[in-house]
Structure 1
Amino acid sequence: MGLGGSWDAEPLAAADIDAAEAAIQAALEIGITTFDHADIYRRGKAEAAFGEVLARTSGLRERIVLQTKCGIRQAEGDRPGIYDLRGDSIVRRVEESLARLRTDVIDVLLLHRPDPLADPEDVAKALMSLHEQGLVRRFGVSNMSAAQIAYLQAHLGVPLVANQLEMSLHRRDWCEAGVLVNTAEAASIGFPLGTIEHCRANGISLQAWGPLARGRFTGGQETPTERATAELVAALAEEKGTTPETIVLWWLQRHPASIAPVIGSAKPERIRACRDAAQREPDLTHEEWYRLWITARGAALP
């Protein structure tokens, strides 16, 4: 999301392309080869900047997995921002993404947000057409519940392979939902219970957006609980010879659901700080994982 310069209508600048190249190279250096986009990021300029780097870097496209999302339409004129998973709209957005990314195929297409007006048969028809034309290899969703995934899958001829959710040591509702069953606190958790289990049972990869929690535990803290968590994260990082960013990502990766963090930063130094999360198995004991969770939630488990 950070590639492409500003969110306004200013055209893509040469400096934006250079910055994108630096971020991509930093990711490749530490072993990251999957790149996640969305058609709305920087109003299309994130994809365009990435596409320019692909065009000028021989052999890069063959070395990476390219993922993008569609389904959100930003506000335009008098029209507010809306969700749009009409079949024709999906096809049009994919064609635009392919042009911006300077590629002939998208490896994974995610439906960005649920659209209450979407007809699953219409959606499935559009996705299968894209697949049969060789424009998209695989499909997934983002920000969807188990029931929504199952409903769409019932109409689709190929398996959904991914669900991208906000998951981090700060956004823990995906984890809290499973342990607050039969407690008074359960009503305060909005995360749809059973979604993690459904994805695991059906081979749907879980991708975590916002996994670094915008630096809450590795930069600026706003509350006593966040400060206590940051101190624990720093202590574990020192003990294990790694970075605080890695500890925060390891907390997700240590979960048996094989969660794949989607690092949102475009800063090369921030990306490189995640090296051990990309190259090493999560080095957290059962007790250390729980200690991080309990410290971040600021209360004992029920």
Structure 2
Amino acid sequence: MKTIQLGTSTLEVPVIAVGCMRIKSLDKKEAERFVQASLDEGANFFDHADIYGAGTCEEIFADAIQMNASIREKIILQSKCGIRKGMFDFSKEHILTSVDGILKRLNTEYLDILLLHRPDALVEPEEVAEAFDLLESSGKVRHFGVSNQNPMQIQLLKKYVKQPIVANQLQLSITNANMISNGINVNMENESAVGRDGSILDYCRLNDITVQPWSPFQFGFFEGVFLGNEKFPELNENIDEIAAKYEVNNTTIAIAWLLRHPARMQPVTGTMNIERLKDCCKASDVQLTREEWYAIYRAAGNVLP
């Protein structure tokens, strides 16, 4: 498994992050096999959130990996906080309480990375800074990032927060590629030219923030996967042809498309199927050509000016 540097941190992380949102769907033995298979693939970066399974996903993971000091040194743990029922909450009290709960459920003394999950309209960045300082000084969190935030929201945090923002987890896939499309269609009179994120992709590249694409196989907002979907015949035909060339399957190519981007992204998988996870990991060894990348982009209905 190839690795990248996470933001400006000293962390070298696998190019594939293993999302654990659905681990609750596995029984104990299945969860153990899945986690071990991830480690066997070199995918030792596990992404969590305190709301996944109302916290039970973190507990299931800790049990499946049989968490202990020796195991902990071999893995990288990331979790997220800030979503509450009917609201978002970046208050100092909520962040600190959330992290304590995450650490307890994961049976660990520290997180490698904590992300703020969804932008809080009532955020007081001074409180976030205080929370981050306490978490860092206590050794509970080593690195910090955000999720689903635009450049100005990050800038506002950075005005007060002294720790580097190392990652931004954002929805991105071949069919949900507006953050790429609006950069290609600058000043054009078409839908693709509409910027909805403040040029977040360029901002992250300029500031050495690692983009972590979530839902890399989804179209719309959890409407379904585009692979094998009759709604996307041209895209699937194109992906299948390229997959045959590299002797991999379509899952691998969908992830390889993200990895081909020079932003050096770290896609977050969501599958609990071991074979599909292996297919995702194979993307680490596939380097699409520029022609192939653009062919897939266009086949998804994305517009070139």
TM score, norm. by length of structure 2: 0.87
Quick check: 1:289 aligned with 2:289?
no
1:216 aligns to what?
225
Deviation per CA, 1:82-113, whole angstroms, max 9, x where unpaired? 11111100000110000000000000000000
1:191 aligns to what?
196
2:11 aligns to what?
none
1:85 aligns to what?
90
Amino acid in structure 1 at the alignment position of 2:33 = A
Task: Please say if residues 181 and 192 of structure 2, whose CA atoms lie closer than 8 Å, have aligned partners that are also in contact.
Answer: no
1:87-106 equivalence runs, <5 A: 87-106=92-111
Shift of 1:216: 3.0
Quick check: 1:182 aligned with 2:193?
no
Shift of 1:59: 2.8
Quick check: 1:150 aligned with 2:155?
yes
> Hey, what's the Cα distance between the residues in 1 that align with 2:195 and 2:44?
33
Task: Please say if residues 107 and 138 of structure 1, whose CA atoms lie closer than 8 Å, have aligned partners that are also in contact.
Answer: yes
Structure 1 unaligned segments of length 5 or more: list them: 6-14, 75-80
Shift of 1:16: 2.9
Task: Please say if residues 168 and 210 of structure 2, whose CA atoms lie closer than 8 Å, have aligned partners that are also in contact.
Answer: yes
Which of the numbers 241, 244, 247 marks the counterpart of 1:241?
Answer: 247
Amino acid in structure 2 at the alignment position of 1:284 = L
Task: Please say if residues 71 and 85 of structure 1, whose CA atoms lie closer than 8 Å, have aligned partners that are also in contact.
Answer: yes
Structure 2 unaligned segments of length 5 or more: list them: 1-20
1:111 aligns to what?
116
> Hey, what's the Cα distance between the residues in 1 that align with 2:256 and 2:111?
29
1:73 aligns to what?
84
Quick check: 1:59 aligned with 2:70?
yes
1:24-35 equivalence runs, <5 A: 24-35=35-46
Task: Please say if residues 17 and 50 of structure 1, whose CA atoms lie closer than 8 Å, have aligned partners that are also in contact.
Answer: no
Deviation per CA, 1:28-50, whole angstroms, max 9, x where unpaired? 22221110000000111110101
Amino acid in structure 1 at the alignment position of 2:23 = L
Deviation per CA, 1:45-89, whole angstroms, max 9, x where unpaired? 110101112335773211111000000013xxxxxx211111100
> Hey, what's the Cα distance between the residues in 1 that align with 2:249 and 2:263?
23
Deviation per CA, 1:100-152, whole angstroms, max 9, x where unpaired? 00000000000000000010001111111111100000000000001111110
> Hey, what's the Cα distance between the residues in 2 that align with 1:178 and 1:186?
12
Amino acid in structure 2 at the alignment position of 1:295 = A
Matched position secondary structure for 1:152: helix
CA RMSD in angstroms comes to: 1.8
> Hey, what's the Cα distance between the residues in 2 that align with 1:195 and 1:217?
24
Shift of 1:187: 7.5
Amino acid in structure 1 at the alignment position of 2:227 = T
Asked which structure has the greater RCO (Cα within 8 Å, sep 6+), the reply is 2
Matched position secondary structure for 2:37: helix
Task: Please say if residues 55 and 102 of structure 1, whose CA atoms lie closer than 8 Å, have aligned partners that are also in contact.
Answer: no
Task: Please say if residues 183 and 193 of structure 2, whose CA atoms lie closer than 8 Å, have aligned partners that are also in contact.
Answer: no
> Hey, what's the Cα distance between the residues in 1 that align with 2:22 and 2:217?
14
1:45 aligns to what?
56
Matched position secondary structure for 1:4: helix
Quick check: 1:4 aligned with 2:24?
yes
TM score, norm. by length of structure 1: 0.88
Task: Please say if residues 175 and 300 of structure 2, whose CA atoms lie closer than 8 Å, have aligned partners that are also in contact.
Answer: yes
> Hey, what's the Cα distance between the residues in 1 that align with 2:206 and 2:69?
39
> Hey, what's the Cα distance between the residues in 2 that align with 1:179 and 1:187?
8
Task: Please say if residues 67 and 107 of structure 2, whose CA atoms lie closer than 8 Å, have aligned partners that are also in contact.
Answer: no
Shift of 1:204: 0.7
Amino acid in structure 2 at the alignment position of 1:242 = V
Instruction: Give identity over the alignment, percent.
Output: 39
Moved over 4 A (4+): none
